[in-house]
C-alpha cells in the first residue's frame, strides 16, 4: 500500500513540476515578446526621427528645383 502511495505521489509531483516548468516557459516567452516589441518600437521611432530631416531636405531641394525651373522658363 505504501508503495502505491509513493508511486502516485511521485507522479503527482512530476506533473506539478511539469506545470511549473510550462508556466515559467510561457512567462519567459511573454517577456521576450514584450522586449522584442519594445526594441522594435524604439528602432521604428529612431528611424522615423532620422527620416524627418531627410524628407525636409528633399522637400526644400524639390522646391528649389521648381523655383529654378520657373526662373529658367521666364
Q: 3-class SS at 74? A: coil
Domain count, the chain: 1
Span between the terminal Cα atoms of the chain, in Å: 108
pLDDT class of 70 with cuts at 50, 70, 90:
low
State the average pLDDT over residues 52-71. Answer: 71
Alpha carbons within 13 angstroms on the beta-carbon side of residue 32 total: 6
Distance separating alpha carbons of residues 47 and 53, to the nearest angstrom: 11
In which domain, by residue range, is 53 found? 1-73
* Residue-wise pLDDT tens digits, 30-56: 888 888 888 788 777 777 777 777 777
pLDDT surpassing 70 at residue 10: yes
Amino acid at each position: 500500500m505504501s508503495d502505491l502511495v509513493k508511486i502516485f505521489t511521485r507522479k503527482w509531483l512530476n506533473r506539478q513540476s511539469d506545470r511549473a516548468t510550462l508556466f515559467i516557459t510561457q512567462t519567459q516567452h511573454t517577456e521576450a515578446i514584450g522586449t522584442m516589441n519594445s526594441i522594435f518600437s524604439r528602432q521604428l521611432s529612431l528611424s522615423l526621427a532620422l527620416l524627418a530631416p531627410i524628407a525636409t531636405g528633399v522637400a526644400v531641394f524639390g522646391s528649389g528645383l521648381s523655383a529654378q525651373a520657373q526662373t529658367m522658363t521666364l
